[in-house]
Amino acid sequence: MQNITLIGMPGSGKSTVGVLLAKALGYGFLDTDLVLQQQENALLQEILDQHGVEYFLEAEEKAICSVDCEHHVIAPGGSVVCKEKAIEHLKAMGPVIYLRVPLAELKNRIQNLDTRGIALRPGQTLEDIMELRAPLYEKYADYIVDAHEGQDMAESVRQVLDVIGRKASIEWDSLHENNEAAESV
């Protein structure tokens, strides 16, 4: 298996689960939002504020298509499924796993919707983008991992490992301790 890509809504835990999963598998970790920020020399929200959603999606697609790595867990932005070329590039690099989180839990996790760098058009809500993107996440996912309200990130990692059929030797107590450190990444 070359890479594993985690997709899902903003706040679904792609980066946090991704870091923990990479550690469990001995893989590298790549957050494509950071690639985008480096290529644009701006923060996500600055790109959106200065150039708008369409420009942002085009720049995100370019950033994702520039990714060339092996043995990495990749966490793209939630809008990756809005550009077919971007998500197809990631699918060609390994399995794609949709971290499906209920809307109520996403609302609990996201307190900074207007400043987080989420590709929202004027007037769009989290519900609106979930309605648009959920069918796309399901379409492009090789596997779906369902999270429940208040689920520990280590449990999500365990579920991902189960669906990809990999048995990694993980010290779950250590993983729980490292969960807080990963959330600050």
CATH number, domain with residue 19: 3.40.50.300
Note whether 81 and 127 are within 8 A (CB): no
Examine residue 146 and state whether it is found in any structural domain, yes or no: yes
Examine residue 117 and state whether it is found in any structural domain, yes or no: yes
Alpha-carbon span 59 to 6, nearest angstrom: 20
Examine residue 180 and state whether it is found in any structural domain, yes or no: no
Examine residue 156 and state whether it is found in any structural domain, yes or no: yes
Alpha-carbon span 176 to 152, nearest angstrom: 8
Examine residue 182 and state whether it is found in any structural domain, yes or no: no
Residue 105 amino acid letter = E
- The pLDDT value recorded for residue 157 is 87
pLDDT tens for the chain, 185 residues: list them. 589 999 999 989 899 999 999 998 999 999 999 999 999 999 999 999 999 999 999 999 999 999 999 999 999 999 999 999 999 999 999 999 999 999 988 888 887 767 677 888 888 888 999 999 999 999 999 999 998 767 777 888 888 888 887 544 333 334 444 555 544 44
Examine residue 185 and state whether it is found in any structural domain, yes or no: no
- Give the dihedral sign, CA 9/10/16/18: positive
As beta bridge partners, residue 145 has 99
Lookup: tokens for 171: 């010290």
Residue 25's domain comprises 4-163
| Total domains, the chain | 1
Examine residue 17 and state whether it is found in any structural domain, yes or no: yes
Q: Average model confidence (pLDDT) for the chain?
A: 86
Lookup: tokens for 145: 């991992």
Residue 146 amino acid letter = D
